Structure 1
Amino acid sequence: MATTRHIDLILINGYLEALDLAVIAQMLDLYIQQSALYLTAINHAVVTVDQKAWQEQCHKMKGAAASAGLTKVHQKLILIEKSAEDSEIKAQHLQALSLLNQQAISAFQQWFTEQ
């Protein structure tokens, strides 16, 4: 099942025990908004060849992904955060990250509909 590959069900189910579904929905909505901003900022870092901004934005998104239980996104960010590769490679990382992020959000939304 795709859901278990993309989200930390132990963490998310723990949230469910402590929080109302409406709060979890707000958390997901906030992550969706924030991740779009992070991806835009990461893209800007690629375009402007700004290593510091790349690391800072990847680091911020890594924390947000971990808090939201998006394991694949978090793992990808661990791998690329300190990357000093050229812009072409970083653009490829960003493309893969964007796809993983969308898949993880979809998996979380699928989990949510099953509750």
Structure 2
Amino acid sequence: MIATEQLDLSLINGYLEALDIAVIQQMLDLYIQQSSLYLAAIDTAIVAEDQKAWQEHCHKIKGSAASAGLSQVHQKLVVIEKSTEDWPVKAAHLRVLTELNQQAIDVFQQWLSDQ
């Protein structure tokens, strides 16, 4: 996957100008930990069929993804955050989101190793 499709490179390159590469790696590591928790919480919201929790956790990961420069993940969350679709459809959104998130993390890690 091409980095420009997954990542907000202008944001990340701005980070690189201001921060040490080790700090950017720490930011990504923190995002990985947090996104795992948010994705689990979204799954719990689906199981409980809790619309408020769905929106709340989608909103949290949306902000985290934007701050980390994961543009495709952010865009997916913009689309699904306020979704009132049936729960099986939301479960499908979560599967896609989880895959997109992992792809973006992999691309970001590759980008970091190329720096």
For Structure 1 versus Structure 2, the TM-score category normalised by the shorter chain is over 0.9
Counterpart in the other structure of 2:9 = 9
Runs of 5+ unmatched residues, structure 2: none
Matches of 1:2 and 1:53, distance apart in 2 = 33
**Which letter does structure 2 place at the counterpart of 1:59?**
H
Matches of 2:9 and 2:3, distance apart in 1 = 8
Q: Structure 1 residue runs of 4+, over 3 Å off?
A: none
TM-score of the aligned structures, taking structure 1 as reference length: 0.98
Cα deviations across residues 94-113 of structure 1 (Å, max 9, x unaligned)?
00000000000001001000
Counterpart in the other structure of 1:103 = 103
Matches of 2:27 and 2:10, distance apart in 1 = 16
**Which letter does structure 2 place at the counterpart of 1:37?**
L
Matches of 1:63 and 1:27, distance apart in 2 = 14
Report the number of matched residues. Answer: 115
1:41 equivalent to 2:30? Answer no
Deviation of 1:16 (Å): 0.2
Deviation of 1:81 (Å): 0.1
Counterpart in the other structure of 1:76 = 76
Deviation of 1:79 (Å): 0.1
TM-score of the aligned structures, taking structure 2 as reference length: 0.98
* Identity fraction in percent: 69
Cα deviations across residues 74-100 of structure 1 (Å, max 9, x unaligned)?
000000000011110000000000000
Matches of 1:85 and 1:48, distance apart in 2 = 15
